A and B are shown apart, each in its own frame.
Chain A
Amino acid sequence: MSRKPYQRELPKTTWFLRHARYKKYMLHEISAFAVAVYLLILIIGLFRLGQGEEAWAGWLSFVTSPFGLILHLIIFGLSLVHTTAWFKAVPQAMRVQRGEQFVPGPTIVGAHYVVWAAVSVFVLILAGVA
């Protein structure tokens, strides 16, 4: 009997609409845009800082404009998406074996959250005190 296998193609640009887990993955991937835009703003800010008080004030007025705020809120949201997804994946990518046991995933993830909190508080204190 002759064979005639049928090949179904995955739609190259819309495949991720097919399943909730793919959409979640794409949201995480998209966070790269947020990181890129934020870094662009930040680097411009550093240049402005070097150019003097007036230039810096101009940059600050962009940040505090309604558009600047909305932009940063979106970036903030996506940065949280990245952080939570990244921490969740750590135990998969990095297993720690002690004798016959592995350090449980939740312990590793929990440790990351503790460090995250410490780092964040440190930066906030720096900002509040500086």
Chain B
Amino acid sequence: MSERTIELEVLRYRPEQDSEPWFQTYKVSCPEEWVVLDALNYVKDELDRTLSYRWSCHMFVCGSCGMVIDGEPKLACKAFLRDYGNRIRIEPLANFPIERDLVIVMDDFMEKLESVKPYLIPKEEKSIDQGEYLQTPAQLKAYKQYSMCINCMLCYSACPQYGLAPEFIGPAALALAHRYNMDSRDVGRKAREDTVASHEGIWECSFVGACSEVCPKSVDPAGAIQQVKLTSAIDYFTSWLPGGGSR
């Protein structure tokens, strides 16, 4: 097992002491098969107990350990040291306020997620006795990709439009709205549209596409948003026709 000494440059921000963030360097001898999260855990356990960061599952499922590693938004559990040099720069996710060290404030994201009504709105509620809402494999396939999101917020960190205009609802939330819109059991598209097709919604997106490039789950939020733009544009025109949808 080969080991090598890696210098981790970690952005620190301790609200009690620091007026602004600064980089602290930790030297860690790392086995080559470690991921960045392992190295951070080593620092926390052995070198500096004051370092704060979020993590949980260590297997790309929980979406907690998103951070910016060498300028790229990544899950620290999915960033293998063998792909990096001997110096690795670790920063919290961009575009979010820093709570402490690598921990960001995610309240804004949670609000936006809620604003798109990310749950099934069925045509008629069924009781449990009445059974499931049935769906064919093809109907499942239509939205499955957009349901893979783990809310890691890497896409928000990569999105310059979110950075420039924080009111933008942003990639993951809009992709999730699309996920429910595309679900054959759901009739909530109209209810979501007021948020989704608002100025803060899809129209703030200029299709930079960075979100889809950094997404660890291949959700392709950028693609989802363009698809919503097309259906919303068609809505816009048909709403002017007699009998068209309400505006």
A contacting B, Cβ–Cβ less than 8 Å: yes
Given known contacts A3-B99, A10-B160, A89-B226, A97 and B138 CB-to-CB distance under 8 angstroms: yes
B73 to chain A, nearest CB (A): 10
Within 8 A of B (CB), among A46-93: 89, 91-93
User: Which residues from chain A contact B163 at a C-beta distance below 8 Å?
Assistant: 10, 15
- List B contacts of A4 (CB < 8 A): 15
Which B residues fall within an 8 A CB radius of A?
13, 15-16, 20-21, 71, 94-95, 97-99, 105, 137-138, 141-142, 160, 163-164, 206-210, 212-213, 220, 222-223, 226-227, 230
Neighbour of A22 across the interface among B95, B160, B226, CB < 8 A: B160
Given A7-B97, A8-B98, is A21 in contact with B213 using a C-beta cutoff of 8 Å? yes
* Contact (Cβ within 8 A) A93 B138: no
Contacts A25-B209, A91-B223, A94-B227 known; 8 new A-B pairs at CB < 8 A: A3-B99, A6-B98, A8-B98, A10-B163, A15-B164, A22-B210, A92-B212, A92-B226
Q: Determine whether the beta carbon of A22 is less than 8 Å from that of B208.
A: yes
Q: Which of A3, A7, A8, A21 contacts B210 (CB 8 A)?
A: A21
The answer to the question of A5 belonging to the interface, with a C-beta cut-off of 8 Å to chain B, is yes
Within the assembled complex, what's the spacing in Å between the Cα atoms of A92 and B226? 8
A12 shortest CB reach to chain B, Å: 7
Q: For residue B227, which residue of chain A has the nearest CB?
A: A93
A101 to B141, CA, bound (A): 8
Residues of A within 8 A of B15 (CB): 2-6
Distance (Å) between the CB of A6 and the closest chain B CB? Answer: 4
Chain A residues in 8 Å Cβ range of B105? 5
Q: Which residues of B contact A128 (CB under 8 A)?
A: none
Residues on B with beta carbons closer than 8 Å to the beta carbon of A106: none
Query: Measured between alpha carbons, how far is A102 from B222 in the docked complex, in Å?
Result: 17
With most chain B CB atoms within 10 A of its CB, the pick from A3, A4, A15, A89 is A4
CA distance A29 to B230 in the complex (A): 20
| Chain B residues with CB under 8 A of A29 | 206
**Chain A positions 1-38 with a Cβ under 8 Å from a chain B Cβ:** 1-8, 10, 12, 15-16, 18-19, 21-22, 25, 29
Question: Chain B residues near A16 (CB, 8 Å)?
Answer: 160
Interface residues of A in 88-120 (CB under 8 A from B): 89, 91-95, 97, 99-102
Provide the residues of chain A in CB contact with B206, threshold 8 Å: 29
**Residues in A lying within 8 Å of B, measured CB to CB:** 1-8, 10, 12, 15-16, 18-19, 21-22, 25, 29, 89, 91-95, 97, 99-102
Given A10-B160, A15-B164, A94-B227, A25-B97 contact (CB < 8 Å)? no
Residues of B within 8 A of A93 (CB): 223, 226-227, 230
CB-CB under 8 A from B164, the residues of chain A are: 10, 12, 15
Q: Is the CB of A100 within 8 A of B141?
A: yes
Which of A2, A25, A92 is packed against the most chain B CB atoms within 10 Å? A92
- Please indicate the chain B residues that have their CB under 8 angstroms from the CB of A6 in the complex: 13, 15, 20-21, 97-98
- The answer for the CA separation of A79 and B95 in the assembled complex, in Å, is 32
Kindly state the separation between the CA atoms of A95 and B178 in the bound complex, as whole angstroms. 13
Question: Which residues of the other chain, B, contact A25 by a CB distance below 8 angstroms?
Answer: 208-210
| Cα distance, A12 to B220, chains bound together (Å) | 26
| Identity of the chain A residue whose Cβ is nearest the Cβ of B20 in the assembled complex | A6
Inter-chain contact B94/A10, CB cutoff 8 Å = yes
Query: Smallest CB–CB gap between A29 and chain B, Å?
Result: 8
Chain B positions within 8 Å of A1 at CB level: 16
Contact B95 A10 (CB under 8 A): yes
